Every structure is written in structure tokens, then in C-alpha cells.
Structure 1
Amino acid sequence: MRKTSQENLWKIWYREPAPIEPPTTNAWQNSPGWVRALPIGNGKLGAMIYGGIEEERIQLNEDSVWSGQPQEADNPDAPRYLPEVRRLLFEGKYVQAQQLATEKFVCLGAGSGHGNGANVPFGCYQMLADLRLRFEGHANARNYRRELDLTTGIVRVRYQVGNVTYTREHFASLKDEVIVVHLTSSKPGELIFEATLSRPERAETIAKKDYVLLSGELNGGLRFAARLVVLPQGGTIQTEGDTLRVRQATEVTLLLSAGTTYRTSNPPAYTTKVLSRARQQNYPRLREEHFRTYHNLFARVHLSLGGEEAAALPIDERLERVKRGEPDPHLCALYFQFARYLMICSSQPGSLPANLQGIWADGIQTPWNCDYHTDINVQMNYWIAETGALPECVEPLIEFIERLREPGRKTARVHYGLSGWVVHTVTNVWGFTSPGEHPGWGQFPAAAGWLCQHLWEHYAFTQDKKVLQRVYPIMKEAAEFYLRFLVPEPKHGWLVTAPSISPENSFRTADGQVVSVCYGPTMDMQILRELFTNCIEASRILDVDGEFRKQLEETRARLAPMQIGKHGQLQEWIEDFEENEPGHRHMSHLYGLHPGNQITPRGTPELAKAARVSLERRIAHGGGHTGWSRAWLVNFWARLGDGEKAHENLMALLKHSTLPNLFDNHPPFQIDGNFGGAAGIAEMLVQSHAGEIHLLPALPKSWRDGYVKGLGVRGRAQIDIFWQDGKATRAVLFSATAHTFRIRPPDGQRVVLVTRNGRRVPFQTNEDGTITLKTAKGWNAYNLIVQ
């Protein structure tokens, strides 16, 4: 391997800066500079580094900069109309049912503002500010390079002007809760620049001594502040208006802190407190503390797929080569690790969960409010967390779900007249749990059940009983709502949800009408069957709620089953309706295949075959045209064991739905595709959802030689896998507890030897080719030889 490619192996780099565009208030369109900027973050703070030469823009975010406020959106009249909506649905009068639901069964007020909620109570996530730097005499720069090093979490900009080399390093410290920018010149006294903070609206900026303070108040009353401290080594600082001027310095450290009244009553004072701690450390110490904390998370997983020589090229050139059909397996590995980087940066204990854009958003009115869509998007954000060995990053999601319980109880009580808790298609930091403003997309009451999957999965991966004791009451309360919400449909007596939707999709009735509101959509039934199953198992493990467990078992047995339709496809609705949009981006009825576990090629072959037909029909009609939808396809094909199809869709994701900085493109930018695509790569390498650890279940031919180390599997374990010529050679299972694992080698291969500390370990070979391995208590490494 050439030295240049080795040095660049885990770097996203460019030969030029990102173009700097004028400030914007509406960010519905991808701006050409922003999608070339490089992200940093620490969960609460985020920044996009443009790497400008004469002028630099560092676009800043703080995770709680939300307009809006809590609102009374639950509809107290809705329970009166629930029986009539159901009667119309059960009589096949879907159009009339949707009309009535539109008039009487939606939220009060403006709801989410149809995704434009900046100035309505729902609010939207917004940019914090811009940090602008202006440099004198840098017009004729050469030897420019801008890079994000995934191994350090540091963005570096370097160029030469004359015989002086200028370097800037940027990181968001996980340890010290500040954004750090360090500027140096190779010759003494050559740093001359201005620094200020600005925002398109609702803020004012002052500069005093060695700091700049930006503060303001959003629609709804949230107050915010960002404070920049300038610490030069040599030279002078002068203040002029809202700007600090640095002259004749050799080295300068910029520290930025931010806060809002979402967490603190006095944001300016909070920023002072944070910066007073951070500025006591010199730059090498800040950098080292950041690296130690970050590297402890990032370095848990290693992936090699070959083709590392491509790392010698900048990322934009590599993406263009892929679009031309040239192979770049290392780009798949880089994409995977970039997603893990984004997870570390956008979701940390104490932060809010990653939203539609993680933590990075430009402008004031962000796309779909940069909110939390609970009909796949926020869930997809976290698909990579457990398998990617980042369980700590799930904590913000768990806390967020916990906070939804109280408003969700109110929605259950007011809107449905039921106990338990519920949330629908969209939510925000203010606890919005009501249906959306139109039932065609907003009447998705199964969202709480889907969120609860992540609570159970966190336990399944960690095997921490304290986790289960914490999350089971949340799961139980959601199940209580569904137990009371379910009603028997008239044809078979199956228990169904009503009214509901198959997220954002629509169907054609027998007379050609196009509607979305229905009863018992397949996804709802899959989610509830899963939730009830997980609650049953949790109650057994915790030895509680025996009567409740029995009720769940009885109700589960009466849920509407999955059905195979006239095309051989898995039906999306309880009736075999024709889809109005056969290539729709949502493939909700395949939830049981992924992220669920109710459909598996070995366990339910007929349903797996039907799921495959559904996938083929979707793709034939243009499905997967959005970034996150294409990412979901990668996971589906991996679960079906088709490595070539999974790889084909992964390459389509890179070719058609990946922006120049590797951000996913819906369009516009949406981060779920990054996380979903990376989860798909992990699913191609190992799966553990079906009661066994399956090694290389969907390895494509193009990944001929490689290895992966440190992927998480259910049962509180991690796995390393090594392969050559498309065949596994060995695997290492790291187990933390006494556990019985069922392990499946790749098709056509077998496990011939297991050792621990150089000694043979007994295992049982089963008729289906799997082995049963019992592990001992404590962290132990089990080496599996595969032939």
C-alpha cells in the first residue's frame, strides 16, 4: 500500500475549500457550500467547517435551539368520532372515513405547520450562529488541503501563502463541552484575522476584551447564547464593534460554548462557566483530552474491505469514480465508519437524540422542522448504535422516550379516552404527541410501539437487568394503550388498530378512490406483535405482572396475521389493495423483516419469499429513490441473505443519494440514510436477530478479502470475523457473561474448532450446521476456526 493512501485511510479530504454562501433563513434546498463542509460535534454542539482561505465560515449548532413551545394540540372531541370513523372503515367506506378523520380526528391548531413550523407553536430546530473569520493577505494560497480525520475526530485545514504555512484544527470536545479552533502560522507573528459571531435573525452580538457574545430569543421564548473566547500566543487583540481583531500572533486558540434556556436559566452565565474551565487548559491538553474520550468510542470497531489505495484520492473524486461504475470497496468501509463518527458527534449522554439532520442544520426554517419523525426516521438513526458498539449513544433516545410518556398519556386520555401513552408521526423537544394535521400521514398511533423496540434492543444487546427494569414500565404502558385501542374487525374477528395508516402511503379502493386511512395495516400488527412479545419476555425475566403477561399472550394470538397477496407479495394492508404509488419510499409492511425479526428465510420461508416479491415490485417501480429508503433496501436484502442485491443498493446509495461530504441526500440532506446505510453494511457481515449469530450472512463477491472487528451482537458480546476469497477463516467471540450462543457459519462452511486462551472449548454441532457454544462468566475471547 502506498504511503499516501495509508495516511489518508480514514480521512475525508479535499483539495479546495467549500464555497461560502450568503446567510439563509430557509434551508429546504441543499446549499453547494454546506454539503461540502465537514462536520464536528459532541452531542450538544455541532459545527460545519468550510475551510475558507480569505474568509472562513464555521456554521454552528446547539442541539436545543428550537423555536416553539408546549401546546394544547390534543383534540377533546376526537373520542366522540372514533366509533363513527371505525364504522365507516369496517363498512369499506374508506373515503368517508378519511374525510371524517380529516375534519374531526386531527390535532388542534397548526400542528407541525406542514413541516414549516418555525413560527407556529410546534417550532423547528434552527442554526445557532455563524463564526466568521477574515484573514488578511491570503489571496494567493497554494498547496491547500482540508480533511476530517475519523480516527481523531479533528478537522484540519492547511495551506501556504508565500513561505508561510497556515494550519487550523477544529474539534468539538466531548470532554470539555466546547468547540475548539486552533490556528498556527509557521513563522512568528503572521496570524492576522478578525472574528465575529452572527445570525440571520433574532440575535445581537457584542465584543469585549477577548470574547464575542451572541444572544437572542426565538419565537416561543427560548433564549440562547454563544460565547467565543480568543486566546492568542503573541500578538494583540483589539475590539471594534461586534468584532475581535487579532494582530501579529503566531498561535491562537478559539473556544466556543453555547447554551439555551432549555437547560439553564441564564445562557450567557452558563457559557462563561463552561469557558472558565476550558481556558485553564492549554491547547495540547484540550486536544489530548478530546482525543482520549473520542478514540475510546471510535476505535471499538475496525473494518477492512480492500481497495485502500483509493484513499489517496479526495472524497469528491472518489464519489465521481463510483458514479462512473468504478469499484471502491474502501469507500463502503469509510462510509460505515463515517456513520459511527456522526453517531458519536450527534448523540451523547445528556444531549438530545439525533434529529432528522443529526445535530447539523443551517438556516432558520429547516426541512420538516428537523424534528423527530417517528414513522422510521428517528428509529433508523439508531440502527447502527448497538451493532456499531456505541450503546452509550442510545441514552439520549431512551431519555427522550421517557419524556414522551407524560404528554403521551395526555394524548391517550384526551384524544382517545384511553389509558397508556401514545405518540404519532412527528414529535419535538416540547413533547408533541398528538396526531399530525392530516390523517393521511399523521394518524400513525403505532409509533410508540416502534420506539419501544429500541428499549428492548438496548437490553438485548447489553443484557443489563437494570436497563430492563428501567425500560419495561415504558414498554408496558405503551402496550396498555394498544390493549385498549385494539378492536375486532368484522370479517375474521381479528384484533386491529383503527384508524391508522401504513406510514405515508396510500391505496386504491375497489372504486378507484385514493386514500390512506385504514384499519389493521400490516406494519401496525407487526409492531404490536413484537411489543407484546418483548413485554411478555421482560415480565418473565423480571418475574412481575403475571396477569398482564397472560392478557398480552391472549391478545397477541388474536392480532391480524401477515397475509400474502395476489401478486405473491406481502400485503401492506389488511385487504389486498392496489398501491397508488407502487414505488413508494416507505416499505412499512416489511418491518417484520427489518428492523423486526418476524420474517426470516429459515424461520418463515413463505413470508420471506413474499417479502422478496414486495421488494422487487417496489424497486421495479422506482422505490428507494430517497437516501434513507435506499439505505433500508440494503438492510432488507441483507436480512434475506442476498449479498449481491444488498451491495447493489449500497452502491446506488453512494451513487445517487450521497452528497460531496458523504452526508445522505433525501433530498435535501437527512442523516437517517447515513445511519441506515451503515447498519446495512453491518447486517451484511453479521446478524443476531433470529436467535443465533450468523457470520457473513450477505457477503458480496466484491468484498473478497477482509475483516471486521468489534461489532456488537445480542447477548452482550462482540464479534471479529476474518475472511479470504469470500470464505470465512476464523471468528472471535468476545462474551461478557455466562451465555449460550447459537452460531451459524456462512453457507457451505462449518466451525471445526473453538479455543479459549489456547485451549479447546467443547461445543455442540447441530443438524442445521449451527453450533451451540456455552460461554463462561466474565470477558472471554473464544476463537472459532471456520472451514
Structure 2
Amino acid sequence: MKHASWRGLLAGQVAIWTLAVGGLPLAAGQGQVIRFDRPAGKWVEALPVGNGRLGAMVFGGTSRERIQLNEDSVWAGPPVPVNADNLGPKLAEIRRLFFAGRNAEGEQRVAREILAPRISPRSYQTLGDLWIEDLDAGGGEAADYERALDLQTAVATTHFRQGGATSRREVFASAPDDVLAVRVETDRPDGLNLRIRLDRPADFATRAEGNDLLIMEGRAQHDGKQLGVRWLAALKAIPEGGRVRAEGNDLRIEQARAVRLLLTAATDYNFDNPDEPLTRDRRAWCLDRLAKTAGLEWAELKARSVADHRVLFDRCVLDLGDTAPELAAKPTPARLEAFRQGAEDPDLIETYFQYGRYLLICSSRPGSLPANLQGLWNEHLKAPWNSDYHININLQMNYWPAEVTGLPELTEPFFRLVQGLRRKGGEMARKLGCRGFAASHTTDAWQWAALMGRPGYGMWPFGAAWCTAHAMEHYRFTGDREFLERVGYPLLRESAAFLLDWLVEDPETGLLVSGPTTSPENSYRFQGRRLHLAMGNAMDQMIIRENFENLLEAAGVLGVQEPLLDEVRAALPRLARPQVGPDGRILEWGHPYEEAEPGHRHVSHLYGLHPGRLINPWDEPDLLAAARKVLTYRLSHGGGHTGWSRAWIINFYARLLDGDAAWDNLRALLAKSTLPNLFDTHPPFQIDGNFGGCAGIAEMLLQSHDRRGTIRLLPALPKAWSRGEVRGLRARGGFVVDIRWREGRLEGARLVSLLGNRCRVAWGDRTGEWPTSRGEIIELDGRLRRIR
């Protein structure tokens, strides 16, 4: 679907989700601010701003400020992995080896005959750096220093006194005006004396044009290879008083009481077809954008940006109680350290929750690329894991908070990417002898799809199928029928076509199984060998069942009837289900193999517990005890040692209705896997844990995933959160939910019906059910009695 078509869908979606819901005020100090008392000494202490497309990390230096820059489409380029043709017959032979117990031989053939070579690096890259050098600073010590990021306004500020003068900077990335905006001011009598420059680690050129403009341009690449996106950045300086002039490839600001710096960038990347670069004049585009923005006063430019951000940010509010004033006054790293030592800091948890929402707002907007492994923010030319789109959990986790915390329109880039995978994913499916489309464990801005690399990570054609589950969830939350018809159903249908052809009958059981595949990135021991591939792995079977059920649900909504649906109905009862091993745990593999790494970071065989709904206390409780044993075993062997893995475990325990265990793991996430600026760390920095942790907090407070659509209030409330309030969470069926509790018990709730669906609510063993009309408000007391 073209971007223009998405705009029409989003307009209707936003109207649905904002019906009868006003702006929600956020009290001062309530999870809003990340604060430092010194400049950033390293990148993970800098503060992120972004508008979805343009991003920056603000260091807050005194005599020399560094603002590291990103534009979301600056990627090194092809070649990309491509599978060989006609792999279906080879797969059939390899499957026979696995069914005969010759797993090692089968895995060797997969590595030799099926997987394409990995081609790396091909990285998302930094746009460069903006440097602001104060030539009159004199090197003296700065006093009264404060650097802060206000999550509600999305403005980063730096304030200090030096040499008897006060300096203040503001930085934000405006979505409505599509610029990065910086303002520097001083009360120094002779004004500012600054040098402004742009640079980059490699592959760029800079120049000054006229007296107030800097241009930096280049092409993303790796040492002359992997030639990718052509890009251009433009910066305009607007002094307030004083003057600006060019000096070589820099700008000089002299005797100004303040200066505004406006930066934007353009590339030739074409999201709708990356193989056909855009031919627009990048310089002209940037200069036009700067000319339109330069005419705005700073207050107006800032107000426009803040208002746009708050439309999204203010939809959801969390209050878990008050932090002691002496702790709340400390810089964020000191509070984080106190929390590690056992201090209670409810405001820090609120901040962490809102930070996840903030980061998604800043890294994924309609028209941008999706949030990648680092979201939007990356200082490298060769980023860890290329800062790509890992679709064996990481990209999906990035979007877990979107629906439930009131940010549904931010999923647009995600779905555009998944739609983009249909072309290369269709080619991959045909090479495997299947219909439909599929994708492996990863992709990037070039939207390629191939089984590649090593068996332990690369032999897994389920990335696209997992992504299609988000389409059905988007419909369940928003009721957007047009989205389901034009986007969701085609994705589900083409994925199901692939899965039908990928399945094979197990000659021992007669059931349909997937394989040979990895259980993402894990391994087992068999016949004295460490192996990675098997038949009928639990995660595969769960994803397939979920996809088939989602397709049938979507077809029912849309009134679709077609032969493929009959194939799905015939296959469903023949699908092998997850098995429980002799020790009472759900088997990760199709057989009870010895685990080579019992504390592995992936817990793939609990996909049906979360994010799926195949295992839950109300519809299919049989596997709950076995799922809990999986978690206990994993954690006892060192599991959860990466940030995103720990975040996933929070969500697992929330789904098990164990609030105290969820809280223990949330504490562990902040204590062990959170950087000074509250970024998540794998290590190194990887943003998915921020999003997964945010979603986990929401999951502790509200669930609505059972098959009856029951809205469950406080399903996993920990003892540590004895009192609190949350406003603006979203439930499936189209409800906005506010909840208040005291002494661990529900005090009251308010629900707004956005779609007019039937409302079924539960708290503990109490339930209530009411018909609703569109826009109707239901208010409940602590015993679920309707009081309005």
C-alpha cells in the first residue's frame, strides 16, 4: 500500500481512537523528566530526541557541545542474501533425514544446500555530528549545571553558569516542521562567539553556502562497498542580534545574544520500492524545508512541536505513588543506582514506562521507517547487528506497547515494512516450493527475505508470520475494518498460504509439523553433537496455529469465503500441539532433547503465553503449570541476562497472573540491564527492552486477550504497588480504560467505549457485562457495580 493510502486509513483510525477522550493532564514530577547534573561523558549518557525520521543525541557539553545526528533511511546497501532456486526437493530429502533421527546429517545439508551466505556489514548509519564550540568559554568550571529531557514536551535542555555568564540550550525534533531545532542563548555582555560545524566519521563532504548555511552530503557505504543511500543534510543559522558568517566549511556566530540552528536532511531512499531510489533534488528539498521553518519565531516553532508530541504522549498517565523528595531531587543515574540498592522509587518506574512510550513516538511516525534495533539513535557506521530489523522477536517487541498504551497510529511504519516484504518474501516462498510469502529472522531497509547464515539463527522462515499477528491485534484494538481489509487480511492470507505448504506430515504421528527449523538461536544436544534444527518445534507450531485462527477470524469479520480458508480449516485439527516433557516443562523442540544452554535468552516455546494467547488461564489453562516450570528453570540457569529477554519475562509472569514475579523481573531489568540515560542494554544498547518493559507494566495492570474479550483489571498487580492510578490504557474491543486502586484493591474504573461493542469486565472473581453504544462511558466502583 502506498503511503498516501495509509494517510486515509490513519485519519479514520485517529478519529475512532480519540472519540470521547480528552487530553489527560500529567502532574508535575509524575514520570516526566530524565535529569543529569553533568555533561554526557559517553553516548549512553546523552539524551535522545526524535520526530520519527530525524533523531539526535544531546550530550550537553559546556565549552563544546556534541549533538549526534540520525536520519532513519541512512543505510549502506546491497548486495543482500538471496536463496538458490528450487529448494523444495532438497528440503523433502532433508526432512526425511530428520524423521529418521539423522539430525546432524540433515543440519549439515541445510547449512550446505539451503542457507544463503550472510553478507555483512550492511548497516544503518549515523548521519553525523553537529558541533557547537564556544570560543569564549575559557575552559573554566561550569556551575549550577543541569541537563534534562522532558518526556512530555520532548525538549532537551542544558543550563549552566560559566565565567560569570549563564548559558541555556534547547533541542527538539519537530514532527510538524520536520527539522531538528537548536537554540543557544547567553547573558554574556558581548554575546555568543561560536563555531558551528558538521562532520561524520567517513564518506562525506561539507561546505558552506552563503553566510548562514552548511551542507553535508555523502553516500552510506562500507569502505567503498555496499553502496547504499545517498543523503544530504542542511543547517541554517539564525542569529538573534550579532551576525553569522562562513569561515571555510564552518559557520561563525559573533556577538549574538542567541542563535537558532535548524537542520534537516533528505535521502534518495524509496520505502515503497527500495530498488528504485528517489530522484528528487535533495538540496532543494532541504532548503525549501528550512526556508519555511526559518520564518517561525522560536516560541511558535517549539509550541507546534510540543503540541504535536503531546497529542500522543498525553493519552496515557501512570501514577504509582510518591517518591521521597530527597531521592526525587537526585539525577537519574543516582536514582537508578539507589534503586539497584533497594530504594523504593515509584516515580522512576513511571518514568521508565513513559520513556518507552516516548521512544516509540520519537522513532516511529507515519511515513518514517520502523523503529530498528536501536530505535532511531545510532552513532556508528557499523552498528551492532547492523541496527537492522530482527523479526524473530526484536522488531515485534518494539511495537508491543503501541496498541495498549494508546499509540496505534505509530504502527504504520511496521506494517509498511511487512507489506514491503511481500515481494521478496514471495520469491523466497516460491524457491522453497511454497505459495504465499515468508521471511526469515531478519531484514533491513532493503526489504529482502532469505534463509541465510548459520542454521542456529538463519533456518527459520517465520518472521513474516509472526509479524502478521500484529495486524489482527491492531484490528482487535481499533476496530479498523478498512485496515483489516486492505492490509491485515492480505498479509494473513499470504502467510497462511506459505504455512500450509511448509507443513509436512510426521510419519510417526500423522500430525502436521514444521521443520527443519531452529527454535530461535537456541541449541540442543543429540547423539553427542550440539545441534540447532529439529522438526515440530513449539514456537513454529504456535505461530502456525495463531496465524490460521487469525485468518479465519478476519475472514469472518469481512465475510470472506475462499478455498484457502477450507484448507486452513482442514489443517487446524491436524496441527501438532506443544508437548510437555517428562520433567513437566513445555518441550521447546519436537522431542525431549537435552538443552545445550538451559539459561538461553530466547524463551521461544512460551510464544503461546505471550505475545500469543494460546496458553491462558481462561481458555486453555492446561499448559500453564508447564509454562511456569519453563520460566523457573530458565531463570535458575541464568536466563533473562539480556535486557529484552528480561522484558519478555515480565510479560510472561503478567500473563501467569503473578504480579510479584513480574515486579521482581522489572526490578531486575532496571538494576541489571538499564544504562544511565535509561536506554536498555543487551549489552550493548538495544532499544527493544525499553519497549518490552513498558508493555510489561501495562500487561500487569490490564489484560484483554482471552477469547471472550474480557477486560481484566489489575490482573498481575504486585504487592509493591499498593496504591495507584492509570489512565488511558486501551483494551481489545475498542475501550479506553482508567483504573484506581488502594491497598492492593480496586477502588474504581472508568471505561469509554469507542466502537460500541459489548463490555465485559473482570477483577479478581468478580465480573460485569454491559452493552454499549459508541462513545458511552461506564464508571464502576470497587465491586464492579456500575455507578454511571
TM-score by length of 2: 0.92
Distance in 2 between residues matched to 1:476 and 1:359, nearest whole Å: 31
Distance in 1 between residues matched to 2:392 and 2:402, nearest whole Å: 18
Distance in 2 between residues matched to 1:589 and 1:551, nearest whole Å: 26
Give the structure 1 partner of residue 18 of structure 2. Answer: none
Shift of 1:147: 0.1
Distance in 2 between residues matched to 1:709 and 1:448, nearest whole Å: 33
Answer whether contact 2:30 2:319 (CA < 8 A) is retained: no
2:40 paired residue among 3, 9, 18: 18
Matched, 1:104 2:113: yes
Deviation readout 1:558-603 (Å, 9 max, x if unpaired): 1111111111001111111121100000000000000000101233
Distance in 1 between residues matched to 2:736 and 2:663, nearest whole Å: 24
Give the structure 2 partner of residue 576 of structure 1. Answer: 592
**Which runs of at least 4 in structure 1 moved beyond 6 Å after TM superposition?**
none
Answer whether contact 2:513 2:535 (CA < 8 A) is retained: yes
1:734 paired residue among 739, 745, 752: 752
Paired residue secondary structure (2:574): coil
Matched, 1:541 2:580: no
Answer whether contact 1:686 1:696 (CA < 8 A) is retained: yes
Answer whether contact 1:8 1:311 (CA < 8 A) is retained: no
Matched, 1:94 2:83: no
Moved more, 614-623 or 495-504: 495-504
Residues 104-183 of structure 1: matches in 2 within 5 Å? 104-107=113-116, 110-113=117-120, 117=121, 123-138=122-137, 139-140=139-140, 141-183=142-184
Deviation readout 1:71-122 (Å, 9 max, x if unpaired): 4612115334111111111111111111000000102xx4242xxx1xxxxx
Matched, 1:528 2:544: yes
Distance in 2 between residues matched to 1:474 and 1:740, nearest whole Å: 28
Q: Taking structure 1 as reference, are residues 594 and 112 closer, same or farther at Cα in structure 2, changes over 3 Å only?
A: farther
Distance in 2 between residues matched to 1:581 and 1:127, nearest whole Å: 35
Shift of 1:326: 1.4
Give the structure 1 partner of residue 68 of structure 2. Answer: 59
Paired residue secondary structure (2:712): strand
Residues 17-416 of structure 1: matches in 2 within 5 Å? 17-19=39-41, 33-69=42-78, 71=80, 73-76=82-85, 78-107=87-116, 110-113=117-120, 117=121, 123-138=122-137, 139-140=139-140, 141-187=142-188, 189-208=190-209, 209-219=211-221, 220-263=227-270, 264-265=278-279, 266-308=281-323, 309=325, 310-414=327-431, 416=432
Give the structure 1 partner of residue 24 of structure 2. Answer: none
Shift of 1:332: 1.1
Where structure 1 has 5 or more consecutive residues not aligned to the other structure, the ranges are 20-32, 118-122, 749-768
Cα root mean square deviation, aligned: 1.3
Shift of 1:259: 1.2
Shift of 1:392: 0.9
Matched, 1:687 2:687: no
Answer whether contact 1:423 1:433 (CA < 8 A) is retained: yes
Give the structure 2 partner of residue 770 of structure 1. Answer: 767
Paired residue secondary structure (1:734): strand
Shift of 1:545: 2.4
Matched, 1:638 2:654: yes
TM-score by length of 1: 0.92
Answer whether contact 2:513 2:575 (CA < 8 A) is retained: yes
Q: Taking structure 1 as reference, are residues 389 and 188 closer, same or farther at Cα in structure 2, changes over 3 Å only?
A: farther
Residues 720-759 of structure 1: matches in 2 within 5 Å? 720-745=738-763, 747=764
1:781 paired residue among 757, 777, 784: 777
Residues 387-466 of structure 1: matches in 2 within 5 Å? 387-414=404-431, 416-466=432-482
Answer whether contact 1:159 1:166 (CA < 8 A) is retained: yes
Distance in 1 between residues matched to 2:610 and 2:572, nearest whole Å: 20
Give the structure 2 partner of residue 756 of structure 1. Answer: none
Distance in 2 between residues matched to 1:600 and 1:77, nearest whole Å: 41
Distance in 1 between residues matched to 2:303 and 2:130, nearest whole Å: 24
Distance in 2 between residues matched to 1:112 and 1:733, nearest whole Å: 51
Shift of 1:7: 5.1
Q: Taking structure 1 as reference, are residues 695 and 401 closer, same or farther at Cα in structure 2, changes over 3 Å only?
A: same
- What amino acid is aligned across from residue 34 of structure 1 in structure 2? W
Q: Taking structure 1 as reference, are residues 400 and 70 closer, same or farther at Cα in structure 2, changes over 3 Å only?
A: farther
- What amino acid is aligned across from residue 53 of structure 1 in structure 2? T
Moved more, 390-399 or 236-245: 236-245
Q: Taking structure 1 as reference, are residues 586 and 579 closer, same or farther at Cα in structure 2, changes over 3 Å only?
A: same
Paired residue secondary structure (1:770): strand
Deviation readout 1:137-189 (Å, 9 max, x if unpaired): 33322100000001101000001124321110000001101000011113554
Shift of 1:453: 0.7
- What amino acid is aligned across from residue 67 of structure 1 in structure 2? A
Distance in 2 between residues matched to 1:221 and 1:689, nearest whole Å: 42
Moved more, 658-667 or 495-504: 495-504
Matched, 1:719 2:737: yes
- What amino acid is aligned across from residue 236 of structure 1 in structure 2? R
Answer whether contact 1:70 1:431 (CA < 8 A) is retained: no
Q: Taking structure 1 as reference, are residues 221 and 173 closer, same or farther at Cα in structure 2, changes over 3 Å only?
A: same
Distance in 1 between residues matched to 2:723 and 2:443, nearest whole Å: 44
Answer whether contact 2:440 2:463 (CA < 8 A) is retained: yes
Deviation readout 1:739-758 (Å, 9 max, x if unpaired): 1122111x26xxxxxxxxxx
Shift of 1:446: 1.5
Q: Taking structure 1 as reference, are residues 701 and 7 closer, same or farther at Cα in structure 2, changes over 3 Å only?
A: closer
1:660 paired residue among 676, 684, 695: 676
Answer whether contact 1:582 1:621 (CA < 8 A) is retained: yes
Give the structure 1 partner of residue 8 of structure 2. Answer: none
Answer whether contact 2:83 2:452 (CA < 8 A) is retained: no
Give the structure 2 partner of residue 515 of structure 1. Answer: 531
Distance in 2 between residues matched to 1:517 and 1:439, nearest whole Å: 7
Give the structure 2 partner of residue 24 of structure 1. Answer: none
Moved more, 586-595 or 425-434: 425-434
Distance in 2 between residues matched to 1:433 and 1:377, nearest whole Å: 17
Distance in 2 between residues matched to 1:712 and 1:8, nearest whole Å: 20
Shift of 1:675: 0.1
Deviation readout 1:691-713 (Å, 9 max, x if unpaired): 21110001111111110000011
